[in-house]
Structure 1
Amino acid sequence: MAKYYVNKNSQANGDHEVHKIGCSFMPEDQNRDYLGDFNNCKDAVNKAKKYYSKVNGCYYCSKDCHTS
């Protein structure tokens, strides 16, 4: 299991990216919300969708969930 976070700040296209702990592109502490421990990025993205309408996995640490 890994700890996942969602970026509170959206990307230029409106997506809020989901990151796994240890990612080089992890947002600063004040710019992220903890989602929980998950076995995969899909579950983390689904949790983030409860808070944000546009969510995407990070290209670098959650590539399986990166769609745009």
Structure 2
Amino acid sequence: MASYFLDENTKDGAREVHADGCCRLPDFYHRIYLGEYSSVQQALRKAVLLHDRVYACSDCCSEKAVPQSPGPVLQAS
């Protein structure tokens, strides 16, 4: 299981989800801890509860698990 974080900075109105250790993970003051998850899809489901548009980082989240960012943005319904 990995720790996941939500970037507080928006890119075109969407926020990026990062795994712990990502080279693009924002500093402590600009991220929200999402929790420990066994997949990025689980972290994205949690993130969309906090922000209406999110996507997975292409550097730290497997492209097999989710589309490349800024690919399809997961939106709250």
- TM-score, normalized by the shorter chain, greater than 0.5: yes
Q: Cα distance, 1:54 vs. partner?
A: 0.4
4+ residue runs of structure 1 moved beyond 2 angstroms? 63-67
Q: Structure 1: how far apart are the matches of 2:52 and 2:43?
A: 14
SS state at 1:61 partner: coil
Q: Does 1:31 align with 2:56?
A: no
C-alpha distance in 1 between matches for 2:2 and 2:41: 12
Count of residues in correspondence between the two structures = 67
Q: Deviations along 1:11-62, whole A, 9 cap, x unmatched?
A: 1x22100000010000111000000000010000110000100000001111
Other-structure match for 1:5: 5
TM-score relative to the length of structure 2? 0.81
Identify unmatched segments of 5+ residues in structure 1: none
- The structure carrying a bigger strand percent of its residues is 2
Deviates more, 1:56-65 or 1:31-40: 56-65
Larger Rg: 2
Determine the C-alpha separation between the residues in 2 that align with 1:25 and 1:9. 12
Structure 2: tracts of 5 or more residues without a match: 72-77
* RMSD of aligned residue pairs (Cα, Å): 1.1
- Give the percent of matched residue pairs that are identical in Structure 1 and Structure 2: 31
